[in-house]
Amino acid sequence: MLSGLTRAGALFGLLYPTFSLIALAKEPVRAGHGMVVAQEPIAAETGLRVLQQGGNAVDAAVAVGFALSVTHPVAGNLGGGGFMLIRLANGTTTFLDFRECAPAAAARDMYIGPDGNATSDSIYGWRSAGVPGTVAGLALAHQKFGSKPWKNLVAPASNLAAEGFILTEPVAASLRDDKNPLHQDPESQRIFLRNGKPFTAGETLKQPELAATLNRVADGGSDGFYKGETARLLAAAMTAHGGLITESDLGAYKVAERTPLEGNYHDFHIITAPPPSAGGIGLLQMMGMLDGTGYTSDGPDSAKAVHFETEAMRRVYADRSEYLGDPAFYNVPTADLLKPAYLAWRRGTIDPLHATSSEAVAPGLAKTAEARLRTWHESDQTTHFNVVDAQGNAVAVTYTLNNSYGSGITVPKLGFLLNDEMDDFAAKPGSPNMFGLVGADANAIQPGKRPLSSMTPTIITQNGTLFMVVGAPGGSRITTGVAEVIFDVLDFKMNVQDAVDLPRFHQQWKPDFLYLQNGFRPGVAADLTRMGYAIKPTDGVARVEAIVVKGRMLEGGTESRLHGKVAGY
């Protein structure tokens, strides 16, 4: 059934050869005890050592998160934020929201220029940064669930920063890329671009200022970042450069512990991200819309499968544009969006043979008989990692600076990059952000508010037993990329490595394009064009990684054409 389908296997920008998945399927990495999958090998190995030394999945996740802040500066961070989804072996689940939040001095129209249009200040410059949450999130996870000493988990990262690590060609090439924002900031130029003498593969990058910051975190925990010298230096730099974050903002930051969003799909139980992530709701909506359509009959990446999944995506992103935001500021209609009757109505609007114009699709609640009147009170460079330990505890973490290298600004004397997460708000409701996403009042800027996110860390069980841990970076494409890999494993019965390697696709309502990752058979694109889709080729749709549990074995997958690592023992 799978013979003749295409799979990924080439570098970005090149067409993928057409292979038979049966003949040339790539086997996942297997391990019998514990596993870490991360998008940077040194960080993955750091987490694996924690597991081998008796640490649990949360211990390993903390160590990986800090290590990535050193070895993966494009997205790993101290100056950003994200989400951690945890499922313990006893079935206990929780969701730690350490998303950045708007400073107290933020205002709804702070990025609107004299002409009434949104400016680029939400992307570039010191005013683009929200209050960072990463250190607080990792600290709370350790406080609640960790077993190893905190200092031992931060030490590998501080050592990597002080002693340096050897740059691979992909990292060196990313640093010297003329399009990255590091070139716009003097401190970033000094550290990452060596003042105009770019690093090459094989050279060592040392970050002594970052090491000193990490040492204060190791000694003081969360207070080592949000209070004392680090907070004082960050606030002073903000004042000097017109930024908004103050010592008071840092001291007031709190992680929000939330109940994960849960649902069922066939005989699987889905545990995923609640708002302010739009990802979990979007994933469950897609599952509800696809259930019963028979979309799988022609196989994965067939025109039929792509069509039905795309039409579900289109409706998900229309709903996202109107109804989703920070639940502390806005009454998110989660239950209404996930009602079976609503999803059945949405499913019924899908033409099985033709694309629907996005102009004909609107946010749907007001059009359904069940909707009731109410007052309704994200770069593509994020990173994700999964951890499963020998006891069956599982952790999925997605965290981000938003754009590649965030704002590109490195805080003087502190060595870490700042996020540009304020662009994930609707700076001007009704106008698109850098990812083309349209937002409404639900995601407008307010002091202390957390911006809407596409991050979709997800854990899946079957018959009460851990089955899959999955997530991805990829900006607005995270939700669709994660969903596709889940469907490839659950519905198309692919192994996890082939699932993450299979070319993906993306549709986000507006703009009305179907993005096809390089590697699809030409006939599929032609069929979809005849169905009415406007197709644009793309290098990638999220960078998905996953762990699947098969009996007593863990099977891990990370994209073959990229440079992540599955580390297990």
Catalytically active residues, by annotation: 382
Which residues are registered as beta bridge partners of 460? 270, 468
Q: Take residue 394 and report the two structure tokens written for it.
A: 């599982």
Pair of tokens at residue 306: 């792509």
Tokens matching residue 176: 């010297």
Task: Say how many C-beta atoms besides its own lie within 10 A of residue 406's C-beta.
Answer: 31
Q: Locate 14 and state its tokens.
A: 């090149």
Contact criterion met (CB below 8 Å) for 483 and 505 = no
Q: Who's near 25: CB < 8 A, 6+ residues apart? A: 7, 495, 497, 498
Give the gyration radius of the chain's Cα atoms: 22
Which among 79, 80, 84 is positioned nearest to 60, based on CA atoms? Answer: 84
Report how far residue 464's alpha carbon sits from residue 263's, in angstroms, rounded to the nearest whole number.
Answer: 13
Beta-bridged to residue 271, according to DSSP, are 262, 459
Q: Are 48 and 567 in contact (CB under 8 A)?
A: yes
Alpha helices, DSSP H only, in 253-356?
A: 279-290, 303-323, 334-337, 340-348
DSSP code at position 453: B
CA distances from 468 to 27, 52, 89, 271 (A): 16, 21, 13, 10
For residue 291, report the phi and psi dihedrals to the nearest 5 degrees: -60, 125
Per-residue DSSP letters for 224-283? Answer: HHHSHHHHHHHHHHHHHHT----HHHHHH--PEEEPPEEEEETTEEEEEPPTTBSHHHHH
The two three-digit tokens of residue 393, written as one number: 């505890």
Which of 296, 258, 301, 295 has the alpha carbon at shortest distance from 280? 258
